[in-house]
Amino acid sequence: MTEIEPRVRMVGIDLQDTDEARSIIDALEQDNPDAVIRRMPGMVKVQGPRKLVLLRSTVEELRGQEWDTQDLQLSLISLSGNVSSWDEDEIVLEWEH
């Protein structure tokens, strides 16, 4: 008998395609090697299987200056998944079962 593989639920974050958001998008891509990045006019969709992590330290490294995780809201369009952690060091988006 063939075993059915469970469907992988994708989490996602949609961001405005702005200069401010580019370091966030690059950080998401760097910290989540399985992430899929789709660029559209005015928006970038970042999706990952089960979980996405955004590290403040990676954004700061790419940006070359300090970054407050609360500033994500300035570029955020929408989220798909649950925010399981949001503090001054990281934002974690995942499906909680």
Say which CATH number the domain at 56 has. 3.90.56.10
In this prediction, what percent of the chain has a pLDDT beyond 90?
Answer: 88
Please give the single-letter amino acid code of residue 48: G
- What is the rounded distance in angstroms from the CA atom of residue 21 to the CA atom of residue 80? 18
Which pLDDT score, from 0 to 100, does residue 82 have? 94
Given the structure tokens 């090697």, which residue do they identify? 33
How many separate domains does the chain show? 1
Query: C-alpha angle 82/65/90, rounded to 5°?
Result: 20
Average pLDDT over residues 77-93: 96
Q: What is the pLDDT of residues 12-39, one digit of tens each?
A: 999 999 999 999 999 999 999 999 999 9
Residue 2 located in a structural domain: no
**Average pLDDT in the 40-51 region?**
96
The answer to whether residues 69 and 89 touch, using CB atoms and an 8 Å cutoff, is yes
Per-residue pLDDT band at 72 (split at 50, 70, 90): very high
Confidence (pLDDT) at 17: 96
Residue 90 resides in a domain: yes
